[in-house]
A and B are shown apart, each in its own frame.
Chain A
C-alpha cells in the first residue's frame, strides 16, 4: 500500500525539538481531520518516541533524529522516528513498563507503554551502535 502523502523532517537531538515534532504532527494531520482525542494520542506517542531518541539515542551528545509521517487512503497514519544513536541492547526489556535507564526523577519509564496504549500498533527496530527506529500506526477517520 502506497501513501497518499508523506513528509520527513530531520532535526538535531535538542529537547526543544520535542515540541517542534508535535507541531509537525498537528500540521500534517490537519488534512486527515482527526478527532481531538486521536490528535492528542498521536502527538503524545510522537513526543515519547522523539524524547527517547534524544535522551537514550544520544546521551550526552547531539545527533540527527528523523520523523516521517505517511498518510494512507484508508485513514491510516504511519509514523517513523529514527535515530542513528547508540541503539538498544535488549528491546523487550526496554519496553517493559517502568523500566528506565534514565533519571527516575524525570522519566517514569512509561515511554513505550504510552506509545503502545496511544496508538494501534508499535514496532521497534534497534541495533546497538547503529540506532533505533520506532514505527507507530494509528487509524484515523472512523467517526461513529
Chain B
C-alpha cells in the first residue's frame, strides 16, 4: 500500500512517499498531494522517494503532473532520496533527481 506523509521544512513542503507506486496507487497519492497544496500553498514541493520500493511509469506521471502545477504557480518541484532501483525509470523519463545516500 502506497502512502504519503507531509512535513513542512521552511517554505517547502516535503512529501515522503512510501510503498509501491503504480497506476492503482498513483491516483490516491495525487489527490492527497493536491489537497495538501490547496490547504497550504508553498514555493517548493519536494517529493521524497526514500521509502518507495517499486515505481512504474505511473510515478513519472505523478511527478510530471505535480511539476506542471508548481510551475504554473511560479513554484518548483524537486525529486529527492531516490533509491537505486528507481534510477533507471527516472533516467528514462529524463527527470532530474538526487539519489538516496547509503546509510552505513
What 0/1 pattern do residues 40 to 74 of B give for CB contact below 8 A with A?
A: 00000000000000101110111011000000000
What 0/1 pattern do residues 108 to 125 of A give for CB contact below 8 A with B?
A: 101101100110000000
Main secondary structure of the interface of B (DSSP, over half): helix
Taking CB atoms, residues of chain A closer than 8 Å to B88 are 40-41, 117-118
Evaluate contact between A51 and B58: CB separation under 8 angstroms: yes
Q: Which of A18-32 touch B at CB < 8 Å?
A: 18-19, 22
Report if A107 contacts B (CB, 8 A): yes
Residue from B20, B24, B85, B93 in contact with A108 in the complex, judged by beta carbons closer than 8 Å = B93
Residues of A within 8 A of B (CB): 15-16, 18-19, 22, 36, 40-41, 43-44, 47-48, 51, 54-55, 104-108, 110-111, 113-114, 117-118
> Chain B interface residue count: which class?
20 to 34
Main secondary structure of the interface of A (DSSP, over half): helix
Please give the distance in Å from B8's CB to the nearest CB on chain A. Answer: 25
Contacts A106-B26, A110-B92 given; indicate if A22 touches B57 (C-beta within 8 A): no
Evaluate contact between B24 and A18: CB separation under 8 angstroms: yes
Q: What 8 A-B pairs come out closest when comparing CB atoms?
A: A15-B24, A110-B57, A47-B56, A108-B61, A108-B60, A51-B23, A105-B65, A18-B22
Interface core residue of A16, A19, A118 (most chain B CB under 10 Å): A19
